[in-house]
Amino acid sequence: FSHKIRERTDALDAAGNTTAAIGKGFAIGSAALVSLALFGAFVSRAAISTVDVLTPKVFIGLLIGAMLPYWFSAMTMKSVGKAALKMVEEV
């Protein structure tokens, strides 16, 4: 390939990496907001007047609830990676 093609593909690769990094930031932020909203909805629906975060059951529930969006995202990315690898191998 010519030198021009290499320069163009490198520029596109850099733009893609930047876009992916920005997208990850938005995903992490939205996961945090969703976790907070779900916790607020639970407290509202359960009619709990106070929430003691130091209670072991509440603390464990918060930890597991905070981990679920990341676990789901990781499993999704893993399966997409496997599917993409199979498509590349097929071609």
pLDDT in tens, 30-61: 988 888 888 888 888 888 888 788 889 988 98
Indicate the number of domains in the chain.
1
Q: How confident is the model at residue 75 (pLDDT cuts 50, 70, 90)?
A: very high
Nearest Cα to 41, choosing from 9, 60, 24, 65? 65
Q: Find out whether 73 and 27 touch, Cβ atoms under 8 Å.
A: yes
Q: Calculate mean pLDDT across residues 7-27.
A: 89
This prediction's pTM: 0.46
Residue 79 pLDDT greater than 90, yes or no: yes
Structural domain boundaries enclosing 61: 3-90
